Amino acid sequence: MALYTDTVMDHFMHPRNVGEIENASGVGEVGNAKCGDIMKMYLDVDPETKVIKDVKFETFGCGSAIASTSIATEMIKGKTIDEALKLTNKEVVDALGGLPAFKLHCSVLAEESIKAAVKDYYDKNNIPYDPKDFPEAEEGEEVPMV
């Protein structure tokens, strides 16, 4: 069996929603301490409905991080910001048809960058939230994986 699924290769070769949103409602940037890869997420949220109208990402990341985040943006576009917060890296990996075990951590960048952008949106709009929804990895700590 090939190391990467056709879906992973498709999203790696043709990533969706790459770019920047000017004056985004929420922006999140996260990095993986181990590999040094960085992911930046932009959300454009309808203030009335809280629906994510547009989403874009920029990355200095590996192919698996690009594929994970590309498919994750498709999964949250059109959803509410609260629904986007619930997206897990396991759901992202499942949608990709799987990732090799040594690449699972790359999908965490997708989940965490979305969470960071949602948190930024909540902060900017003084929306209360449960801090437990935004666990911060300690310096040097392993990023949680599925």
Q: Which of 61, 92, 99, 104 binds ligand FES (CB under 6 A)?
A: 61
Q: Does 38 bind ligand FES (CB under 6 A)?
A: no
Q: Among residues 108, 110, 97, which one has the least CA distance to residue 9?
A: 97
Q: Which of 64, 69, 70, 113 binds ligand FES (CB under 6 A)?
A: 64
Q: Which of 11, 37, 73, 99 binds ligand FES (CB under 6 A)?
A: 37
For 121, other C-beta atoms within 10 Å of its C-beta total: 24
Residue positions annotated with a catalytic role = 35, 106
H, E, C per residue of 4-47: CCHHHHHHHHCCCCECCCCCCCEEEEEECCCCCCEEEEEEEECC
51 vs 143, which CB is nearer to ligand FES?
Answer: 143
Q: Does 145 bind ligand FES (CB under 6 A)?
A: no
Q: Which stretch binds ligand FES (CB under 6 A): 12-20, 49-57, 61-69, 78-86?
A: 61-69
31 vs 122, which CB is nearer to ligand FES?
Answer: 31
Q: Does 92 bind ligand FES (CB under 6 A)?
A: no
Q: For the residues of 63-126, what is the DSSP string, one character each? A: HHHHHHHHHHHHHHTTSBHHHHHT--HHHHHHHTT---GGGHHHHHHHHHHHHHHHHHHHHHTT
The residues of the shown chain that bind ligand FES, judged by CB under 6 A, are 32, 35, 37, 61-62, 64-65, 106, 109
